[in-house]
Every structure is written in C-alpha cells, then in structure tokens.
Amino acid sequence: MNMKEYIEEAEASLLHTYNRYQIVLDKGDGVYLYDMEGKKYLDFVAGIAVFALGYNNKEYNDAVKGQIDKLIHTSNYYYNVPAIEAAKKIKKASGMDRVFFTNSGAEAMEGAIKAARKYAYLKDGTTDHEIIAMNHSFHGRTMGALAVTGNPKYREAFEPLIGNVKFAELNDFDSVLSQVTDKTCAIIMEPVQGEGGLLPATEEFLKKVRALCDEKDILLIFDEVQCGMGRTGYMYAWQRYQVKPDIMTSAKALGCGIPMGAFMMTEEVAQKSLTSGDHGTTYGGNPLATAASAKVFDLFEDLKVIENVREVAPYLTKRLDEFVAKYDCITERRGVGFMQGLVFDRPVGDIITKALEKGLLLINAGTNIIRFVPPLIITKENIDDMAAILEECI
C-alpha cells in the first residue's frame, strides 16, 4: 500500500482521538525522520521530548536487541538485573531514594498521588485530604492525573474525578497559600510547564513552596515527565535551584522510545506511605524497558548530553529571540534549555502545517504557541536549518 492508502486504513481502524498530520513515518536517523516515500524531516518534536538521543543510536539499539534475546518480561514477583541497574542509575541522577517503575508518565503520576494520600492517611487515619495543583498544568489523561491537570477542557467531560483537588497559579505564592488548609497533603507542579505554555517556575516561588511544605508537613511533588532527563540543562529541572521534592515523576526520555516511566520518593516518604499490596503494575520495570533505560543513562554520560544542552541551547534561545524582535505577531519566547516556546498573537496551526510541508516537524502547546523540544543531541547547524524553514513559514 502507498502512504495515502495506509492513512485511509488507519482512519478506518483507529479510534479518532488524534488529529494526525497526513504523513506515515517509516524510519529515523540522528535528528531526522523519513516518511514512507523517503521524504526527510528535521525533527524538533522528538516524539514529544522522548528521543533525547536521536534516532537509530547503535549502542541503544544493540542494548534493546540484546535484552530481547535474553528476557522481555517476568512480572514483579521476581527480581531482574536490568531493573536493579536502572534503579541504581535513576537514583544517582535524581537524588531520590526509592523508585517504582511504570509504563508511562500518567501512570507515574497516579502512583505519586496514591503515595501522597497514603502518607496523609497514615498520619491521621482520615481520607478527606486535599491536593493543590497548578492552573494550566498537564499531568496526564488517566483519571487521577486528569484530576490534577489545571485545564478544565481536559477534565469536564470525565467528571467526577478524584475529589478534594484545588488549583493555584504557578509563580504566585499567595495563591498557593490561600488554598492551604489543615487537610492539604500535597502540592503538585511541573518545574517547567509543558502543555501549559513552556512556563518555568521561578526560584523564589519554588523555595517558598518548599518552605511551606516543610513547615506544614505537606508533600511536594514535581512532575518532571517532560522537563526532566536533561532537557533544561540539568538531569532534572529542580536541580537548577536545588529545591528537592519529596516525590517526583519521570518518563519520556527515561526510556528514549521504549515505554517507560517512574515515580521516586525520599526514604522518609517511602517508610511512611506505600507498602506491600498498595500499588502494582504488570509490565512496569520489565527487563526490556529497564535495559533500555539503563543504557540511556550510560549514553547521557558517554555522549555528554547535558553538556551539549548547556552549550547549544543558548544558541536556540538566541535564534528564537531574533524572531520575537523581528515579527510583531510573536509576543514572547518562553522556556529553558531545549524546552522552548514562541508565543504568537494568533493560532499557529497553519505555520506548523507549512513547516511540515517544507520538511520540519514542530508541535504546538495550546493554540498559539509553537513548542521546540528537539533531540538533545541537536547542533547549532540544525538550529539554523530549523530557523530558515520557520522564517519561510511565518
């Protein structure tokens, strides 16, 4: 079948929950993807911040292939070496003490919410505790993660969700403080909001919320699914200001393409929250996914990925700032590292479609923001190529 016929087959077979672009991607190499007809695309999406190492990395591929030939799945009734190795490496990278492997970021958030509620339940034996989340946040599509997602359009059709969730404004400490009661058990936020518009939390805000949580024995939960794994120039975004959470979620580039997520916590929270039988997963922590993740951490060091982000991301910032200065329709640039956005005064769908036609993959964040989340191995030359195409499209 040709590309058009495959698209028609997909439309007849798949549940229509995505408005897909009209291409069928076939393979990838480095920072480029290729469709079925051989057309080449410069990728500034990276599978939505997943393919940090780019495509077709031989060492990564060999690690995954090697594990397939050994053992793919056993369940969590048994230990397996890749999971143990991956846990050791994610502990070192994150500074956390305990790890629970999941299959996705949304699953990780579900576990984080359960851990926070169990922690509070063990303190006073009640189940009416409250969670404070941020407006414009995005934490996933499952019912618990959706409940703490600060965008009503995602929630409304699926209510009632889990209750006792309140919303405050990122970087407005007074709005957080006004929502705190003696029933508050957790405050959840993304250190850099992704879907909500590439908005970073400020150092002052993070430190004030951390101090509040310490004072009132409230758990601070950071969702680092999109902003973690080196994207901001630190392995995890909170490390920029050294404001450590009690619980943290991670996914996306944690597996660099193999479905993989995790939630982590401090030893104190681990000793006072989830115990045997409280939480589980059939596939989470399977040998295939954790072998991939363990290799990802090795390659981050070998390829000096964090160093590349710190060296090259300022150049992306510079080029995007040039667009802000040049075009009245662009109101600002937002973001940190290789997690950037251009805010327009109008919808950006047409620009993204035109870029696709010219061989550049971009995505939006909301209707009026173009999001830039390329592979973390991107070069200045790749950025120049992207900017040249974007200029034509604008």
- CA–chain centroid gap for 386, Å, is 23
Please give the pLDDT value at position 310.
98
Please give the pLDDT value at position 365.
95
| 249 and 215 Cβ atoms separated by less than 8 Å | no
User: Considering the entire predicted model, what is its pTM?
Assistant: 0.96
Strand ranges for 109-183 from DSSP E: 130-134, 165-168
Please give the pLDDT value at position 209.
98
CA atoms of 86 and 82, how far apart (whole Å):
6
Specify the length of the chain in residues: 394
Please give the pLDDT value at position 148.
98
Count of C-beta atoms within a 10 Å radius of residue 195 = 21
Q: What is the pLDDT of residues 301-328, one digit of tens each?
A: 999 999 999 999 999 999 999 999 999 9
261-265/98-102 β-pairing: antiparallel
Reduce the DSSP state of residue 304 to 3 states and report it: coil
Please give the pLDDT value at position 22.
94
Domain boundaries, the chain: 3-57+304-393, 71-302
CA atoms of 154 and 149, how far apart (whole Å):
8
Domain 71-302, CATH class in plain words: alpha beta
Please give the pLDDT value at position 272.
96
Fold identical between 3-57+304-393 and 71-302?
no
**Helical H segments across 135-286, by residue range:** 143-147, 152-155, 173-177, 203-216, 267-271
Q: What is the pLDDT of residues 141-199, one digit of tens each?
A: 999 999 999 999 999 999 999 999 999 999 999 999 999 999 999 999 999 999 999 99
pLDDT tens, residue order, the chain (394 aa): 999 999 999 999 999 999 999 999 999 999 999 999 999 999 999 999 999 999 999 999 999 999 999 999 999 999 999 999 999 999 999 999 999 999 999 999 999 999 999 999 999 999 999 999 999 999 999 999 999 999 999 999 999 999 999 999 999 999 999 999 999 999 999 999 999 999 999 999 999 999 999 999 999 999 999 999 999 999 999 999 999 999 999 999 999 999 999 999 999 999 999 999 999 999 999 999 999 999 999 999 999 999 999 999 999 999 999 999 999 999 999 999 999 999 999 999 999 999 999 999 999 999 999 999 999 999 999 999 999 999 999 9
Please give the pLDDT value at position 294.
98
Taking each helix axis as running N to C, give the angle between helix 305-326 and helix 380-393, from 0 to 180 degrees, rounded to the nearest 10. 30
Q: What is the pLDDT of residues 24-41, one digit of tens each?
A: 999 999 999 999 999 999
End-to-end CA distance of the chain: 35
- What superfamily does domain 3-57+304-393 belong to in CATH? Aspartate Aminotransferase, domain 1 (3.90.1150.10)
